[in-house]
Structures are given as structure tokens and as C-alpha cells.
Amino acid sequence: MPWLSQAQYNHCGILIPSQKSINKVKDKPSSINSFISIDEAANYIKRIVKQVPDWQQNFVLQERNGINNAYAHIQNGKRFITYDNLFVEALDYQTGTKWASVSVLAHEVGHHYFDHVLDREGSTHSKELEADYFSGYVLAKMGASIAQAKAAMAKLANPYGSHSHPPRNQRLTAIEKGYNTVKPRKKSNPYSGNFYTQQNDVRYVNVQPRSNKLVQATWFFNNGQKVSENLHYSRTTSRGARVYYNNYMQNTRRVELYFFRDGRIREKDIDLKKRRYAWYNFSRH
């Protein structure tokens, strides 16, 4: 792809904004809350550091325009984070969120937190992934969504990486791992959703667990009708299946749903008067 060869990345593996983007940032202040001053950037740094227990800021923040970068370093025994204001504002402009520049600064704070600058050996893949992890962790605590925490890296990171910086997919994974230590991804409920049965007159059944004691089930029939029932917890079988039930038709019939530990669901229809019953298996397909 010819356009890939035209992309230019800085030493930190982030796409350098085009002159068009820089000009738009210069000529028309963005509606996004970007870093319009060193004081505002310093305020974000304080918020980032505040998210880390038992640690104090141990570096100086300084602005240097024209470098198209933000980086952590040590000079004459003193720690710094140096950033280009137009560069970080352009990140926000290109991604559509102020969290892009916050995540980049958080990444650089991570280098100081992990003391990466002390060996003076520059960037390595392991250092960068640790700083990405730190960025995801901090942004989660600051209230960003996972998409916002990944915004800068997802859109602007080098997809192939370099000798000093890992490829985009590895960096996004590290950010997500850090984020999920604060806000673990909610696991989908294996018992929730649409299921199909062998019942000839039923198209499918929608199951929605409401609590440990209550399940709502809706049967969608081939003739267009639907019936919803609240099923209440009854017991747990010797095989570990949780059983929910409801009586209907003036207590002459009962429906029971069996929720097994491996995610299977079975339905038992019972004719209480004739003392007969039929079993139906649920499946996703």
C-alpha cells in the first residue's frame, strides 16, 4: 500500500500530525478541551499522579514546541516530561477526544513510575508495554471508557512497531490489561439471549436472568404471538442445575427451566393434571 510508506512516526511510534492538522489547531481552537497552556497540562499531570497510591510526582513538566512528541527523560540528574503542545492538541483533533493527549501524557508518567529512564538505555518493547499498561490503568481510574483509553494508540500508533517500540496490537492489548485491572470487562451471561427449542409451534425463547431468584422468559410463537413469564428459583439439582419454575393455566401446568453449569438450558413442560411431562433442549442455533 503506497500510502503506508508516506506515514511518518516519531521516536515514540506515534503518527506525526500532518501540517493540515497542525494548521487547523493553530487557526481554529478546537472544541475539545486540549492543553492550551502549561498550567492546564500540569493539572492533568496532577490528576494522573493522584490515581497512583503511595507515589509522588518526581519529574518536571516542560513544553517544547516543534518536536512532534512527548517523552520522559533524565538530564543532569533531573527527571522531565517534555511535550509539544501543538502535537498533543493535534492528537485530540485527529481522534476527536481529549483523552488521546491525556493517555499519551499518562504513558510518559508511567516511564517515571517504573523508573525506565534511570538506565539511560532508551526505549525497549518491555518498557513501552509497561507504560501502556500504566496508561490504561490510570485512564480507567480517571473515568475514561476503554475506547477513549485506546483512542490515540488505536488511530495513530505504528501498526508494525520498530526496534524500540512494539506494534500497535500489542500496545492496545497492554492498555486494555491495565484498564481491566480497574474495570474488568463484564462477562456476558451465557444464559441470556435468544434460544431455539424443538417445540414445533415456537420460533424461539428469549431468556433474561433478572437475579439469582428470578428469570424472565418470553416464548415467541410461529403465529406471531408471544407469552412472557416470570420464573422463580425452586431448587438446585444434584448435578448443579438451578431450576426456575412458574405455574400457569390455573395451576394445571408448570414450566421449569434448568440452568446447567456448562451453559446448557433445558425446559420441562409438566401437565400437573395428567402427570405427564416433556423435555426440550435449548440451543443458540
- Amino acid of residue 193: G
Residue of 157, 156, 175 whose CA lies nearest to 166: 157
**Cα–Cα dist 216/214, whole Å:** 7
Q: Hey, CA dihedral for 44, 45, 47, 48, is it positive or negative?
A: positive
- 170 pLDDT above the threshold of 70: yes
Residue 31: the pLDDT is 44
For 48, 218, 272, the CA distances from 226, given in Å and listed in that order, are 52, 7, 23
**Cα–Cα dist 175/135, whole Å:** 6
- List pLDDT tens digits, range 200-256: 888 889 999 888 899 999 999 989 899 999 999 999 999 899 999 999 888 899 999
Most confident segment among 14-23, 135-144, 161-170: 135-144
**Cα–Cα dist 250/242, whole Å:** 25
Q: Helix axis angle, 85-95 relative to 38-50, nearest 10°?
A: 70
Q: What percent of the chain is modeled with pLDDT above 90? A: 55
Mean pLDDT of the chain: 86
- Look at 14-18, 61-65, 90-94, 242-246 and tell me which has the smallest mean pLDDT: 14-18
Residue 147: the pLDDT is 94
pTM: 0.61
Whether the Cβ atoms of residue 79 and residue 60 lie closer than 8 Å to each other:
yes
- 3 pLDDT above the threshold of 50: no
**Cα–Cα dist 2/19, whole Å:** 20
Q: How confident is the model at residue 43 (pLDDT cuts 50, 70, 90)?
A: very high
Q: Residue 63's beta-bridge partner residues?
A: 83
Residue 17: the pLDDT is 60
**Cα–Cα dist 193/170, whole Å:** 32
In terms of Cβ atoms closer than 10 Å to its own Cβ (0-12, 13-18, 19+), residue 199 is middle
All residues at 6 or more sequence positions from 160 whose CB lies less than 8 Å from its CB, including other chains: 167, 168
More confident residue, 252 or 188: 252
Residue of 14, 28, 181 whose CA lies nearest to 108: 14
Whether the Cβ atoms of residue 229 and residue 210 lie closer than 8 Å to each other:
no
Whether the Cβ atoms of residue 205 and residue 269 lie closer than 8 Å to each other:
no
**C-alpha cell at position 34:** 486540549
**C-alpha cell at position 250:** 390455573
Residue 28: the pLDDT is 55
**C-alpha cell at position 196:** 431455539
Residue 10: the pLDDT is 55
Whether the Cβ atoms of residue 252 and residue 245 lie closer than 8 Å to each other:
no
Residue 7: the pLDDT is 55
**Cα–Cα dist 163/185, whole Å:** 32
- Look at 14-23, 51-60, 120-129, 223-232 and tell me which has the smallest mean pLDDT: 14-23
**Cα–Cα dist 29/226, whole Å:** 55
Domain edges within the chain: 2-182, 193-281
**Cα–Cα dist 94/90, whole Å:** 6
- List pLDDT tens digits, range 94-131: 888 999 999 999 999 999 999 999 988 888 999 999 99
For 177, 192, 201, 216, the CA distances from 210, given in Å and listed in that order, are 29, 10, 26, 7
